[in-house]
Amino acid sequence: MVFLLGASFLTAEEFTTGGIYVQVASENQTCNFISKDTNFVEKIVVGKTYRIEADVMEFKTKATDSIDLALSTGLQIKVNPNTTFSIDSFNQLIVNDESQPAAIQAQYSVTALSLMDGEVELIAPKFDTNSQCILQTPLVNVNVAEGRLVVKSNPKWVMLNAIEGGVTVVDSKNKTTFIDKGQMGLIIQYPGRDDQIMVTQKVISPDELDKMTASLNKLATHSKDVLFIVIDKRIVGVRLK
């Protein structure tokens, strides 16, 4: 995975594990916490802040399930039905971790996500220039930057819709391709060449654009519903309404 750009100049002691706040989840939805030595399943609690520490937090939704997540960086994620998605690592540098309690004041962040199958919607804030957020898929890594994205993925192809803001994808040979706002990028393996990918782009159809924009606007309304604070040097999300 191409990530952790900011880690080269920050020590591990400066980082705090970021907060993952569950805003919406289907009833009885679970998540898997996977580490080198353990793998356990836990029922998701709406309104709870999770911290993955050394674990990977994996979500597998069924045909009628969905999950809305707010990360303490300001990143919002909607995990749609029939999707396998995980938060592999998530850390922030909090500059006011001695305050008790206080709204977080954060600088750098490093976030690694994976979408192995299914669909996610992402609303990304403007990150610090030294921060990095990467979404890994079976074919490419997606540099998540300021904007709104809808990404569909499976082992054979990746479909990336840039609703707001352009996005850069990186293949296994570190070749980059930019997908501009309003474009749908289709990424497949190059026919007959398993070690190469091919990226084609076209304008998103008006009907699809309206549909995805409406869903992202609904997700965006959650942004003011939670405040992230630091207490006992831990990040906690607080529901505001």
DSSP-assigned letters across all residues of the chain: ----GGGGGS-GGG-EEPPEEEEEE-TT-EEEEE-SS-EEEEE--TT-EE--TTSEEEEE--TT--EEEEETTS-EEEE-SS-EEEEEEEEEEETTTTSSSEE--EEEEEEEEEEEEEEEEEEE----TT-EEEEE-SS-EEE--SEEEEEEE-SSEEEEEEEES-EEEE-TT--EEEE-TTEEEEEEEETTEEEEEEEEEEEPPHHHHHHHHHHHHHHHGGGGSEEEEEETTEEEEEE--
Q: Are strands 176-179 and 167-170 parallel, antiparallel or unpaired?
A: antiparallel
7 pLDDT exceeds 50?
Answer: no
CA neighbours within 13 Å on the CB side: how many for 59? Answer: 32
One-letter amino acid of 34: I
Mean pLDDT, residues 74-85 taken together: 97
pTM, to two decimals? 0.90
CATH number at residue 144: 2.60.120.1440
Lowest mean pLDDT among 9-18, 84-93, 126-135: 9-18
Mean pLDDT, residues 161-189 taken together: 93
Q: Which domain holds residue 199?
A: 5-239
Segment 92-124, tens digit of pLDDT: 988 887 777 889 888 889 999 999 999 999 999
Max alpha carbon distance in the chain (Å)? 59
Q: What is the pLDDT of residue 151?
A: 98
Backbone angles phi, psi at 89, to 5 degrees: -160, 150
The label of the residue with tokens 């654009």 reads: 209
The number of domains in the chain is 1
Query: How many whole angstroms separate alpha carbon 9 and alpha carbon 26?
Result: 40
